[in-house]
Amino acid sequence: MDRHIPPAGRWQLAARAQRMTPSSLRELLKVAERPDIISFAGGLPSPYALPVERLSAAVGQILQHDATGALQYGPSEGYTPLREAIAARLSRSGATVSPAQVLVTTGSQQALDLVARVLIDPGSRVLIETPTYLGAVQALAQYEPVFEEAPSDAGGLIPECLDEALMRDARLLYVQPNFQNPTGRTLPLDRRIALVSRAKRHGLLLVEDDPYGELVYSGVTPASLLSMAPDDVVHIGSFSKVIAPGLRVGYLVAPEELMIKLLQAKQASDLHTTGITQRIAHALLTDGQYDAHLEAVRLRYRAQCALMLKCLAEHMPDGVAWTRPAGGMFLWVTLPPAIDSAALFEDALACGVAFIPGASFHAITPKANTMRLTFTTATPIQIETGVARLAQAIKARLRKAAPCLAVS
């Protein structure tokens, strides 16, 4: 790896900075915010799902009774009662987690940054699903790894394909087992068992990113990797989807050997996460209404997902396929091979609807005929109108791409 790239500008930048490229996705998301556009693009929670009243009450209480605690410097590990509440909640769902294993982070994005900082040298091998979460790729890429795609299908990672050659010397495998971003797919229990078994045998660290696990539409998610192999997993969670992303409160759970280093990296990064928002997260997690709020969010998203699936079935032409998520915020559409979704994006925009082209979610081998749709942000009427517009754009492009289809 050449670490001596000549400076392009006035300042000699770090090699990692020279490799940073402007995010085309950022520009695309800005366009999708135009008021005339129905956006299935950004991964935002529904504005109707934000618990504004409880949050206002909580912040009032915090500033009345614990203002100095909330406003002074705090411990880098995080606010102790929040760490305890997170450990208790994770323990309820089958993992055995002590508060000492919990590090509060500035959103789960920072958890990814810290994990990468502690584990990745330039040139380190890092395994990812395909497709995978773009934000994770961006965080990990800052530490200049070599990404390798672990073979995946509609059920997610295929553990049998993780052979000795792929796993050897890999610093970590990054996986979202529940309602994955961008596909909405869930890793089945038997694959989780097989994955953990292989990882343990080969000393592969599993980074389990679970921002959507609580948004399960019915029943429960399969057991977490953390619950199966607490010594082999860094587990990452977030309050962005169930409370509010603007709080920037997430967390990670790690084995002690890694926690010591992650804590030092956290301290060097931003000293600690905001005191007020940590206390807000704690209040909302422990005020007795969290589960009822969660259930309301689940019902809302389940209905919106069902509506989008119904509209897709109604409007989409033959040759278009999509996933049927059991939770979360996203579904994944596969178009006929002739359609490049980046080109389709422009057509769709002209029709007043936006999505994210699937190429954005592939670190290595882009599949151009795919796209991610978010069903949480739009209203039901917008979902109906937006899917119809999208189908119209696809049909028009199919006619252009293969005019004979227009005859049939």
What residues between 252 and 291 interact with its own copies by CB under 8 A?
Answer: 255, 257-258, 260-261, 264-265, 267-277
Binder of its own copies out of 32, 205, 329, 393 (CB under 8 A) = 205
Helix (H) or strand (E) holding 152: strand 152-153
Distance CA 308, CA 323 (A): 11
Tell me phi and psi for residue 38, to 5 degrees: -85, 120
Alpha-carbon torsion angle 371, 375, 378, 383, nearest 10: 80
Between 275 and 366, whose beta carbon lies closer to its own copies? 275
**206 strand-pairing partners:** 173, 233
> CB under 8 A: which stretch of 63-71, 89-97, 289-297, 382-390 binds its own copies?
63-71
| Contact in structure between 253 and 100 (CB atoms under 8 Å) | no
Q: Is 120 in the site for its own copies (CB under 8 A)?
A: yes
* CA angle 113–178–201, rounded 5-degree value: 75
Q: Is 6 in the site for its own copies (CB under 8 A)?
A: no
Binder of its own copies out of 36, 73, 92, 365 (CB under 8 A) = 73
Q: Is 9 in the site for its own copies (CB under 8 A)?
A: yes
Q: Is 119 in the site for its own copies (CB under 8 A)?
A: yes
Sheet of 321-322, strands arranged across: 321-322, 330-334, 370-374, 356-357
For the chain, the farthest-separated pair of C-alpha atoms sits apart, in whole angstroms, at 72
> CB under 8 A: which stretch of 102-110, 185-193, 321-329, 341-349 binds its own copies?
102-110
Residues within window 153-182 making contact with its own copies, judged by CB under 8 A: 169, 171
Q: Is 100 in the site for its own copies (CB under 8 A)?
A: no
Between 94 and 203, whose beta carbon lies closer to its own copies? 203
Binder of its own copies out of 124, 379, 385, 392 (CB under 8 A) = 124
User: What is the pattern of x (binds its own copies, CB under 8 A) and - over residues 13-52?
Assistant: xxxxx--x-xx--x---------------x-xx-x--x-x
Q: Is 203 in the site for its own copies (CB under 8 A)?
A: yes
Burial 85-117 (b: 16+ CB within 10 A, else e): bbbebbeeeebebebebbbbbbbbbbbbbbbbb
Q: How many residues does the chain have?
A: 408
| Contact in structure between 77 and 236 (CB atoms under 8 Å) | no
Between 98 and 267, whose beta carbon lies closer to its own copies? 267
| Contact in structure between 42 and 374 (CB atoms under 8 Å) | yes
Between 61 and 93, whose beta carbon lies closer to its own copies? 61
Binder of its own copies out of 38, 118, 371, 390 (CB under 8 A) = 118
